[in-house]
Structure 1
Amino acid sequence: MTVKIKVYSDYVCPFCFLAEDPLLQATHGKDVEVEWMPFELRPAPNEPLRPDEPYIQRAFHQSVKPMAERMGVNIVLPQMSPHPRTHLAFEGFQFAQEHGKGGVYNHRLFKAFFQEEQDIGNVDVLTKLAGEVGLDEAQFRAALESRTYQEAHQKALHHAYNEAQIKVVPTVVIGDQVLEGLRSKEAFEQVINAELSQLQDKKGAGEGMACSIDGC
């Protein structure tokens, strides 16, 4: 039986970028299904993040950068100000997901923003990145310009904010377990293995049970 995993993240969240690799390592070779779930940290009309804000500088240099160095991940604080809103990037994700490339699209956007300082709020940039992961650039651009996936993205946000009650990202829901914040590969593995074991126990408990014409 398959363990369902939902990953709530935003492309401008550095901890979401850092959480990607340990989660993928923890799920490798296991009977799991990973679903990436959109979440906007600063949806309009909220002010977008600005890299020169003192608390952003402190968080990056005191927490994000040292953690990334320990993990062996190259990361920079993009200097574009303000940081891009991510609604168009997520509408692009809906397109990518529909075409079987949601995961690789996510990975490319994280790298583009936190390693290459590309403006992932720009349609031209997003279209180029989509092409790099094998998506049809003309179709992708047309979908963004016509806002084809706007409603799908808004439904995803409604789910995250109101139904799942997500407050921070990354939040990883593994089966019935909710993990908030960046976790290690070992922490993810522990929860995944426990959920797999629980599903196996449930399956075993039901084996051999049946009803006859005389009753159960």
Structure 2
Amino acid sequence: MKQIHVWSDYVCPFCLIADELIERAIADRADVEVVHHAHELRPHPTPTLRPEDPYLPDIWTRAVHPMARRHQVPMNLPSISPQPYTALAFQGAQYAAARGAAHAYHRRVMTAFFQENRDIGDRDTLADLATDVGLDRVGYLHALDDDAYARRHRLALDESAAMGITVVPTLVIGRRRIQGVATEGVIARALDADAAADAS
């Protein structure tokens, strides 16, 4: 089984675009697994961004919306202000991973924020999203208060730091590391090169 390792943050719009392109690139590749890794762009207590301030509307106008339109990924600048911290959602991701729902959970949280304008820093919202992908609501809420899952998330952040991750999305396919949004063709070629390297 080949793997695409992806470092991302749930409040990074480019990460959603990258996710969509990865899904398209592997649509006919049953032997590829996507493994998601946490990287908080603005961990607490660093202030998060506010959509009413100039930066977010500007970057969305100049970069996010043009890229999203080019790749036909529907998304909008969320109105939640300030933008949520993502540690709690990532802690929930550890619970989802332990139950074999990591990929589905990741996709649900990401699309809820950028396509449905939902507050992914809110516990009840996160629990609703978890149940959407088949997770037990009570168990999920307990996990958000369980330091064992918090420790797993902290270890994931330590791994990100050890890998030198500073940009999201970052993809690692075999020996190739790709920073930023990779097109379907780039992803496919990286997978082919990884397969060829294994065969040689």
Please say if residues 112 and 120 of structure 1, whose CA atoms lie closer than 8 Å, have aligned partners that are also in contact. yes
**Counterpart residue number, 1:26:** 25
Instruction: Give how far 1:147 is off.
Output: 4.0
Measure the CA separation in 1 of the matches of 2:199 and 2:62. 42
- Is the Cα contact below 8 Å between 1:91 and 1:147 reproduced in 2? no
CA distance in 1, matches of 2:75, 2:3: 29
Q: 2:41 is aligned with what amino acid?
A: L
Structure with max Cα Rg: 1
Using the TM superposition, give the Cα deviation of residue 146 of structure 1 relative to its aligned residue in structure 2, in angstroms: 3.3
- For residues 45 and 139 of structure 2, the distance between their equivalents in structure 1, rounded to whole angstroms, comes to 29
Residue ranges of structure 2 left out of the alignment (5+ in a row): none
Seq. identity, %:
40
Report the equivalent of 1:45.
45
| Secondary structure of 1:149's aligned partner | helix
TM-score of the two chains, using structure 2 as the length reference: 0.95
Q: Return the alpha-carbon distance in structure 2 between the equivalents of residues 167 and 22 of structure 1.
A: 21
Q: CA deviation at 1:11?
A: 0.3
Distance in 1 of aligned mates of 2:157 and 2:67: 29
Contact 2:20 2:73 in 1 (8 A): no
RMSD of aligned Cα (Å): 1.2
Aligned residue in 2 for 1:189? 188
Q: Which residue of 1 aligns with 2:137?
A: 137
> What's the secondary structure of 1:81's corresponding residue?
coil
Separation in structure 2 between the aligned mates of residue 126 and residue 147 of structure 1, nearest angstrom = 18
Q: Which amino acid aligns with 1:76?
A: N
Output the TM-score relative to the length of structure 1: 0.88
Aligned to 2:9: 10
Q: CA shift at 1:53, angstroms?
A: 2.6
Output the amino acid matched with 1:95. Answer: Y
Deviation at 1:30, TM superposition (A): 5.0
3-state SS in 1 of match to 2:152: helix
Deviation at 1:57, TM superposition (A): 1.4
Counterparts of 1:136-215 in structure 2, within 5 Å, are 136-161=136-161, 163-201=162-200
Structure 1 match to 2:84 = 84
* Matched positions, count: 199
Could you tell me how far 1:25 is from its partner in structure 2?
A: 2.1
Shift of residue 33, structure 1, vs aligned partner: 3.2
Residue 114 of structure 1: aligned partner: 114
- Look up the equivalent residue of 1:48 and give its one-letter code: T
Q: Secondary structure at the match of 2:5?
A: strand
Amino acid at match of 1:176: R
CA–CA distance in structure 1, aligned partners of residues 3 and 104 of structure 2: 19
**In the TM superposition, what is the alpha-carbon distance from 1:117 to its structure 2 partner?**
0.8
Q: What secondary structure sits across from 2:116 in the alignment?
A: coil
User: What is the CA–CA distance in structure 2 between the aligned matches of 1:108 and 1:40, rounded to whole Å?
Assistant: 18
Deviation at 1:111, TM superposition (A): 1.0
Query: Which digits, 9 at most, give the CA deviation of each residue in 1:162-208, with x for residues without a partner?
Result: x100010000001111100011101111111111111111xxxxxxx
Structure 1 spans left out of the alignment, 5+ residues:
202-216
Q: Which amino acid aligns with 1:85?
A: Y
Map Cα deviations across residues 110-133 of structure 1 (whole Å, 9 max, x no partner). Answer: 111001111101110000110011
Contact 1:10–1:86, Cα closer than 8 Å, also in 2: yes
2:176–2:190 CA contact under 8 A, matched in 1: yes
Cα-to-partner distance string for 1:37-78 (whole Å, 9 max, x where unaligned) = 011000012111211232221111111111111222211101
